[in-house]
Amino acid sequence: MWHLPTGGRVVASVAIAFLVGTAAPAWSQTLEQSLAAAYANNPTLNSQRAATRATDEYVPIALSNYRPQVAGSAYVGQQWTESRVSLGTTLGGGSVVSNSKLSPSGFGIQISQIIYDGLRTANSVRNAESQVRGQRELLRNTEQLVLLDAATAYMNVLQNAALVELQKQSLEAFQEELRATRDRFAVGEVTRTDVAQAEASVANAESSLALADANLNTARATFFQVIGLRPTKLAPGRPIDGLLPKTLDKAVDSGLSRHPAVKAAQFAVDASMAQVKVAEGALSPTLSLNGQASSDYNASTSVERQTSAAVTLNLSVPIYQGGGEFATIRQAKELLGQSRIEVDVNREQVRASVVQYWGALAAAKLAIESAQASVVANEIALKGVREEWRVGQRTTLDVLNAQTALFNARASLVIAQRDRVVASYALLSATGDLNSGALGLKVATYNPKVHYDQVRDAWFGVRTPDGR
């Protein structure tokens, strides 16, 4: 008599508990630990942090125009001179040749301080500071994406591991069915067709198991790529519904006001407005104070030393520079218009994402309820079909179909559980609040302001604050 192996039921229950956390074995790796590892180790996130530190340097670069420009110069050399002077006819003709050899040398210093440049420096500083703020928001957006990728990679490993276990259970059940069908065929109770159907189900199950193993290997590789660790004994993943807004309207409002992509676009508008002022400054006069001092030695045979100093106030008024400055101003205004449009683009993208993931989370919750009911119903149906098959009221194909339906229901439940966890993280990301602080990750939080404060007013030095 055909029966479902007891181990298959155990595997199925463990596979489902593997995602939802109904069992409590001694796990060694949790979702929170994996997210913390991704926060600290992910190369994409670390690259964006480096880009943020590089952007910080735009501020001291702009501030440098407030400071004097100092340059020193020195020279030393040899000078040979030969002079031939004609004596003229009154002196009897001929000429006198004289030679001189000098070793001229000298040094000097030049200082230039801009007093007024059409507010180009002030607006350049505003532009740089807006870029810094925008880059920080881009860093926060990258953090969100990395944490979401890490949560997704974690749940994908759990899902695919559970599906592999379910595929193994399914294969064992089909193999048991094939053995039972062959036994009944041997005594003439079923036909060769029944045996062929059972053999086909076994072959399909073997193929599905191989595919599930490949998907699991792919998920593990992605896990290592995003998180930087190899997945070992992963604990069940749980949704973060407690961190989510209570209504869709609140979720949309949070995304529009807090999402880093929107705020980065708004800072880009500020930077573009300042850049327009910088470009317009090219039409303004420039006033600078210049000073220089120098000492020259052996400049001529009659001068042993010569020292000079000068201070000048220079005014430069642009009249016509070929028209390039006007094109630059027009270009800056068009870029400002583009950046304002990008704000609206990002706001609409955030709105769409919030609505999408709000719906995905609701759908996943309903899918779990539906899949749980389907699992229960299909278990009852399989048991009944097996009993009817045993007394000859059902065909082998009916049993195979019932077994397949039960596997599909269990697989749907595993997938729905994974989707619910991922959708909760995706929705929190869409609202702009997916970060290490909100998740309570036990990790040293990266603060971009620390580096900014270290370099903003630095006048000297080529080493970065970390010693490079």
Give per-residue pLDDT as tens, 6-40. 334 434 454 455 555 544 455 578 999 999 999 99
Decide if 99 contacts 81 (C-beta within 8 A): yes
Instruction: Give the model's confidence band at 321: pLDDT under 50 very low, under 70 low, under 90 confident, else very high.
Output: confident
| pLDDT exceeds cutoff 70 at 303 | yes
320-334 mean pLDDT: 93
**Predicted confidence (pLDDT) per residue in 338-361, tens digit:** 999 999 999 999 999 999 999 999
Amino acid identity at 308 = S
Helix orientation angle between 448-455 and 120-186, rounded to the nearest 10 degrees: 150
> What is the chain's mean pLDDT, rounded?
89
The pLDDT of residue 467 is 64
The whole-number average pLDDT for the span 210-232 is 94
Instruction: Kindly report, residue by residue over 170-219, the tens digit of the pLDDT.
Output: 899 889 888 888 988 888 888 899 889 889 999 999 999 999 999 999 99
The answer on pLDDT for 93 being more than 70 is: no
pLDDT of residue 215: 95
Beta bridge partners of 123: none
pLDDT class for 2, splitting at 50, 70, 90? very low
Residue 67 DSSP code: S
Cβ neighbours for 267, distance < 8 A, ≥ 6 positions apart: 130, 131, 133, 134, 137
Q: Which pLDDT score is estimated for 100?
A: 79
Q: What is the per-residue pLDDT across 103-134, written as a single tens digit (0 to 9) for each?
A: 889 999 999 999 999 999 999 999 999 999 99
**CA 77/CA 106 separation, integer angstroms:** 10
CA 372 to CA 377: how far, in whole Å?
9
pLDDT at 190: 83
- What's the confidence (pLDDT) of residue 6? 37
Which long-range contacts does 161-165 make (Cβ < 8 Å, 24+ apart)? 161/15, 161/18, 161/216, 161/234, 162/15, 162/16, 162/18, 162/19, 162/414, 163/15, 163/212, 163/215, 163/216, 163/411, 163/414, 164/209, 164/212, 164/213, 164/216, 165/11, 165/12, 165/14, 165/15, 165/18
- Cα distance between residue 65 and residue 122, in whole Å: 9
What's the CA gap between 104 and 119, in Å, rounded?
43
CA distance 71 to 67: 13
Is pLDDT at 1 greater than 60 in this prediction?
Answer: no
Supply the pLDDT for residue 317: 93
Strands 69-76 and 105-116: antiparallel
Q: How far is CA 195 from the centre of its chain?
A: 55
Write the pLDDT tens digit of every residue in 419-431. Answer: 999 999 999 999 9
Contacts for 72 with CB less than 8 Å, ≥ 6 apart: 107, 108, 109, 110
Report pLDDT for 10.
Answer: 39
Q: Higher confidence at residue 27 or residue 374?
A: 374
pTM of the model: 0.86
SS3 4: coil
- CB atoms near residue 327 (< 10 Å): 11
E-state strands within 282-402: 286-300, 303-316
Helix H or strand E segment including 105: strand 105-116
Supply the pLDDT for residue 166.
93
**pLDDT, greater one: 394 or 290:** 290
- The b/e string for 140-160 (b: 16+ C-beta within 10 A; e otherwise) is bbbbbbbbbbbbbbbbbbbbb
For the chain, domain boundaries: 6-69+119-284+323-455
Cβ distance 111 to 68 under 8 Å?
yes
Per-residue model confidence (pLDDT) at position 14: 42
Class of domain 6-69+119-284+323-455: mainly alpha
Q: Tell me, what's the pLDDT at 23?
A: 46
Q: What is the pLDDT of residue 468?
A: 67
Q: Which residues of 35-50 are buried (b: 16+ CB within 10 A; e: fewer)?
A: bbbbbbebeebeebbe
Looking at this protein, which amino acid is placed at residue 445?
A: T
pLDDT tens for residues 429-453?
999 999 999 999 999 999 999 999 9
The answer to whether residues 28 and 412 touch, using CB atoms and an 8 Å cutoff, is no
